[in-house]
Amino acid sequence: VEEAVKQAGAQAVTVEFLRHPPWTSDRISEVGRERLKQFGIAPPPRQMAPGAWQVECPYCGAERTVMENLFGPTACRSIFYCRQCKNPFEAMKPVLPLAME
Ligand SMILES: [Zn+2]
């Protein structure tokens, strides 16, 4: 991160890693969600109840999608198929906060 920011022109860089609160996919910004769609990846839903993963097609916005394979090219993505526009696409898996007991 330091090298990338310095190469972009910054003189002094301080990187701080925050582990609390833990990151969840609800923290992806609207800009980030839009960029994922532009890249053909459906962003994870916000405020999702466990087990209720509904994916919208990043190309046409249809909710008539089906999971083809839970395992995508990376651990955080799955393969879906849109029944509306007939395109296959990837969806980013939701990262939910851990239940604290
Ligand atoms: Zn579609």
* pLDDT tens digits, one per residue of 26-78: 899 999 999 999 999 999 988 777 777 889 999 999 999 999 999 999 999 99
Domain range list for the chain? 2-92
Residue 65 alpha carbon to ligand 1 centre in Å: 8
Q: Give the burial string for 6-24 (b: 16+ CB within 10 Å, else e).
A: eeeeeeeeeeeeeeeeeeb
* pLDDT tens digits, one per residue of 49-60: 777 788 999 999
- What pLDDT shows up at residue 99? 63
Is there a contact between 42 and 55 (Cβ–Cβ < 8 Å)? yes
Q: How far is 19 from 39, CA to CA, in rounded Å? A: 28
Return the closest-CA partner of residue 84 out of 57, 54, 52: 57
Q: Which residues fall inside 5 Å of ion ligand 1, going by CB?
A: 57, 59-60, 62, 82, 84-85
